[in-house]
């Protein structure tokens, strides 16, 4: 890729932030009315300079070596083979932070999953031309340092939306229907519990969706399909746009107070960290349910446990945690009305294959000296002033 004197890729016009519904402050919680999350604002698909022409073998034609591409974890489906067409692929297996740092230092491209890519690692990687995120959230990558170095960070907005939304609904239904309780009761021979215990109805409940990006909108559609009322919070979304998704838009506190179920789908930013704390939990109706399939840092785990222990929350279901893997000695994990899954909401075969293909395509595009479509820091493509 040709770079200007400041190390930034040169010759590309400014593009809007791709897939805004799943990224940064925009995510927080929505997409501006009329924005197609699959195409950056101000750019038509046909205007994208060769980014879809992955088959052309134009990588470093004059270079002495193929670009080295480091994967910090497996990339599923045809993605790895696509990357092998443009470079030498090295996959790490359950690497430590030190092993990631050492591998990325000599790489031309790095594709990360859950592992962190720190500013120090990015600064030390002299040949690094592109960072790929196998996923949507980029809070595990130091975007500021990457941008300062002129390195595009590409990602896969929308690729996991349906799978995560389905998982959030499944957790909701499991709590309301007390599936884990009934399952363990049956295996324990407690057949008589059916005469004294009960579950809850779904139809007519109010679900509050916090964050109306790709996942939040998919969930709103699914919840409406089982005849829930859907309210939501999305500061950057208009009420008219939200209505198109079947959502009554409200302020956050108002939406929480109206909810029987709260499902979190906001990105983790400095503004959203600890969004659901003790004060906001008190706004919920007694007996409300809480679901989080977005980022663990959105809630205060101790406050959530206290609300569950006191009975203010009837159930909590989490797929993400403040630290991962989580500390299983925390009392929340022993509460009978807690359901947990290991950050696997997006782990369907179709979703994983699609994510692998998208991130590989975007990384290959940059290595060919072309402009990617899904880039978290489009400012690196600005001509030097």
- Note every long-range contact of 224-233, with CB atoms under 8 Å and residues 24 or more positions apart, other chains counting: 226/169, 226/202, 227/202, 227/203, 228/202, 228/203, 228/204, 228/261, 229/204, 229/205, 230/206, 231/206, 231/207, 231/255, 231/258, 231/259, 232/208, 233/29, 233/208, 233/209
Tell me if residue 46 is catalytic.
no
From the candidates 343, 346, 361, 371, give the one annotated as an active-site residue.
Answer: 343
Tell me if residue 20 is catalytic.
no
Q: Match 């002495």 to its residue by tokens.
A: 64
Tell me if residue 221 is catalytic.
no
Q: Where are the alpha helices (DSSP H) in the chain?
A: 24-27, 79-84, 97-105, 119-124, 143-148, 161-176, 179-187, 214-225, 239-244, 252-258, 278-281, 301-309, 349-367
Rounded to 5°, the CA angle 87-373-238 comes to: 150
* DSSP letter, residue 235: T
* Token pair belonging to 184: 């363990």
From the candidates 13, 144, 197, 324, give the one annotated as an active-site residue.
Answer: 324
SS3 69: strand
From the candidates 295, 361, 368, 371, give the one annotated as an active-site residue.
Answer: 295
Residue positions annotated with a catalytic role = 295, 324, 343
């Amino acid at each position: 890729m040709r770079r200007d004197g400041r190390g930034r890729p040169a010759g590309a016009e400014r593009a809007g932030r791709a897939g805004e519904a799943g990224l940064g402050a925009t995510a927080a919680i929505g997409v501006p009315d009329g924005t197609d999350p699959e195409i950056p604002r101000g750019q038509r698909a046909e205007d994208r300079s060769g980014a879809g022409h992955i088959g052309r073998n134009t990588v470093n034609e004059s270079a002495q070596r193929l670009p080295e591409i480091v994967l910090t974890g497996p990339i599923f489906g045809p993605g790895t083979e696509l990357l092998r067409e443009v470079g030498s692929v090295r996959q790490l297996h359950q690497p430590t932070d030190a092993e990631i740092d050492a591998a990325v230092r000599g790489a031309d491209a790095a594709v990360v999953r859950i592992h962190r890519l720190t500013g120090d690692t990015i600064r030390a990687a002299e040949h690094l031309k592109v960072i790929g995120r196998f996923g949507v959230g980029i809070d595990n990558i130091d975007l500021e340092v990457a941008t300062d170095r002129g390195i595009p960070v590409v990602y896969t907005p929308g690729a996991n939306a349906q799978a995560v939304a389905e998982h959030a609904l499944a957790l909701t239904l499991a709590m309301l229907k007390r599936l884990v309780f009934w399952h363990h009761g049956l295996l324990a021979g407690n057949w008589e519990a059916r005469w004294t215990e009960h579950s809850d109805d779904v139809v007519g409940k109010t679900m509050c969706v916090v964050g109306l990006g790709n996942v939040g909108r998919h969930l709103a559609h699914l919840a409406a399909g089982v005849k829930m009322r859907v309210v939501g919070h999305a500061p950057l979304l208009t009420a008219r746009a939200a209505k198109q998704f079947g959502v009554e838009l409200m302020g956050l506190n108002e939406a929480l107070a109206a909810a029987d179920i709260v499902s979190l789908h906001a990105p983790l930013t400095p503004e959203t960290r600890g969004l659901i704390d003790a004060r906001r939990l008190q706004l919920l109706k007694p007996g409300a349910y809480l679901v989080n399939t977005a980022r663990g840092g959105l809630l205060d785990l101790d406050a959530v446990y206290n609300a569950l222990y006191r009975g203010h929350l009837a159930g909590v279901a989490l797929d993400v945690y403040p630290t991962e893997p989580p500390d299983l000695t925390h009392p929340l994990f022993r509460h009978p009305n807690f359901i947990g899954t290991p950050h696997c909401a997006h782990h369907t075969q179709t979703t994983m294959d699609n994510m692998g293909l998208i991130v590989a395509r975007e990384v290959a595009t940059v290595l060919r000296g072309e402009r990617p479509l899904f880039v978290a820091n489009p400012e690196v493509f600005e001509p030097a002033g």
